[in-house]
């Protein structure tokens, strides 16, 4: 099974991806995580992507499609869960070609829907572990000890693009460049809307219902 998690920044794609990839043994492929790791490691891709990621703009399609081609070649899992990819029509068409060359297709696109106000609230209060990348939220999922990761004891940090002005830019970029994908996948008959304004467990239940009807 190959799935896409579509949705604005802060919709909860990363949170839901953890649950789904474990249950279905899928390769959780977050282009945001791949890019942040490349920036940290100061690789060629990281150097090219840094300014785009930190200002909330999209990294050029050609860079992203090259990364995805590598991921598809290397994975040994039973399918893919794409999180935050594709983000443009060009990326979606590129993905279709890459999958077709490997005798695969996208089975379902989960469109996580949340209001902008809720997104801003969630993102300004998100904290991530600088070591193991576990995600917290000062409002809905605080760590047991302030500033410290429950999982590994690492220090919690705020992502550079989680400042209010960059969040607003990311939402604008989503509306302009990524939202057209809703129509793109609707036309292919594989889009399911999910109410992602509910609690993480409720969102998970709604996703499970959709997936049980196709798996």
Residues that bind ligand AP5 (CB under 6 A): 7, 9-15, 30-32, 35, 52-53, 56-59, 64, 84-85, 87, 91, 122-123, 126, 135, 137, 140-141, 161, 170, 196, 199-200, 203
Provide DSSP, 186-209: HHTT-EEEEETTS-HHHHHHHHHH
CB of residue 23 to ligand AP5, shortest distance in Å: 16
Closest approach, Cβ 142 to ligand AP5, in A, equals 10
Distance CA 189, CA 153 (A): 45
Which residue, 103 or 133, has its beta carbon nearer to ligand AP5?
133
Catalytic amino acids?
13, 87, 126, 159, 170
Element of type H or E holding 118: helix 116-124
157, 127 in Cβ contact below 8 A? yes
**Residue 105 near residue 2, CB atoms below 8 Å:** yes
With CB atoms as reference, the residue minimizing the distance to ligand AP5 is: 32
Distance between alpha carbon 161 and the CA centroid of its chain, in Å? 14
Q: Residue 76 Cβ, how far from ligand AP5 at the closest point, in Å?
A: 23
Looking at the Cβ atoms of 108 and 126, the one nearer to ligand AP5 is 126
């Amino acid at each position: 099974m190959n799935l896409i998690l579509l949705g604005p920044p802060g919709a909860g794609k990363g949170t839901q991806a953890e649950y789904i990839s474990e249950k279905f043994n899928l390769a959780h492929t977050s282009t945001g995580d791949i890019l942040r790791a490349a920036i940290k490691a100061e690789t060629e891709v990281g150097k090219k992507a840094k300014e785009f990621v930190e200002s909330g703009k999209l990294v050029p399609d050609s860079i992203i499609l090259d990364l995805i081609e590598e991921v598809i070649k290397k994975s040994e899992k039973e399918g893919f869960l794409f999180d935050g990819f594709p983000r443009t029509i060009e990326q979606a068409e590129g993905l279709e070609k890459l999958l077709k060359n490997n005798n695969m297709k996208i089975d379902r696109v989960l469109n996580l829907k949340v209001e902008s106000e809720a997104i801003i609230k969630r993102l300004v209060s998100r904290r991530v572990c600088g070591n193991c990348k576990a995600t917290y939220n000062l409002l809905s999922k605080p760590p047991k000890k302030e500033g410290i990761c429950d999982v590994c004891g690492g220090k919690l940090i705020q992502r550079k693009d989680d400042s209010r002005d960059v969040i607003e830019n990311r939402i604008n970029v989503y509306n302009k460049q990524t939202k057209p994908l809703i129509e793109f996948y609707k036309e292919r008959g594989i889009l399911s809307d999910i109410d992602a304004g509910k609690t993480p467990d409720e969102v998970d239940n709604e996703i499970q219902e959709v997936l049980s009807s196709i798996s």
